[in-house]
Amino acid sequence: MKFKRILLKLSGEVFEGDKGFGMDFKKILEFAKEIKDVRKSGVQIGIVVGGGNIWRYRDFSNVEFLERTDSDMLGMMATVMNSVVLSSALKKCGVQSRVMSSFPCESLCETYNIANAKKYLELGEVLIFAGGTGSPFFTTDSASALRALEMKCDVLMKATKVDFVYDKDPVKFKNAKKFETLKFSDVVKMKLGVMDLTCASLLDEGSIPMLVFNLTKKGNIKKAVKGVKVGTLISSK
């Protein structure tokens, strides 16, 4: 295996499937089965889940009476909902899994703590980091960079619906340029939009590579973990 400990970032899009909102439970269960398969190979797996399928600040920014900080908190709560559903699906598949939230949700899951989180990963549990960073004005991309650094992961794998990073939308533009490798500085310079700037600078500084890959192709996570080239590898050097 090329990677021993991975951090997988799943956006809310993954959870909504083709429904455009909410949860596609069939897709979530299929995904849990794929995680099970990867876990069997001995890789330690942490997952950061987005919340955009339920609540995203920018989708509700026109609601004048809603404070940005409250709206962001709702987004973070949405990530907790997704995390609990994913953890349940994993358990159903026989995978030991646990949710840790960045803010207290005591009756539902544990509060995040670096030392305990490391212990759970070492014990082989699939650990789901819920609640983003716990602070407004951030995204779950930044949360995933933060957790990847704190957990000393070998790679941050960002699941998308396309195979590679392109300079423009490959669905709309036939001449879109595909990148197999990139530097974080290129992402910033070219404003590629594959991650936000906080995420890029955290990973760059911590020398943790990001692999952007297509989750809709079955078996891709396992291939990537084995070192087979899938997707765009973004690194510091």
User: Which residues here bind ligand UDP, judged by CB under 6 A?
Assistant: 11-12, 50-52, 56-57, 72, 75-76, 132-133, 135-136, 138-141, 143
Is the CB of 35 or the CB of 48 nearer to ligand UDP?
A: 48
Instruction: Give the CA radius of gyration of the chain.
Output: 17
Q: Cα–Cα distances in Å, from 153 out to 6, 30, 43, 83, 189? A: 5, 25, 11, 19, 26
> Least distance in Å: CB of 226 to ligand UDP?
26
DSSP reduced 3-state for 2: coil
> Least distance in Å: CB of 45 to ligand UDP?
18
Is the CB of 67 or the CB of 180 nearer to ligand UDP?
A: 67
Helix intervals (H) in the chain = 12-16, 25-40, 68-92, 114-122, 140-150, 184-189, 197-206, 220-226
Is the CB of 13 or the CB of 37 nearer to ligand UDP?
A: 13
DSSP secondary structure letter of residue 105: B
Is the CB of 135 or the CB of 214 nearer to ligand UDP?
A: 135
> Least distance in Å: CB of 4 to ligand UDP?
25
> Parallel, antiparallel, or unpaired: how do β-strands 165-166 and 181-183 relate?
unpaired
> Least distance in Å: CB of 76 to ligand UDP?
5
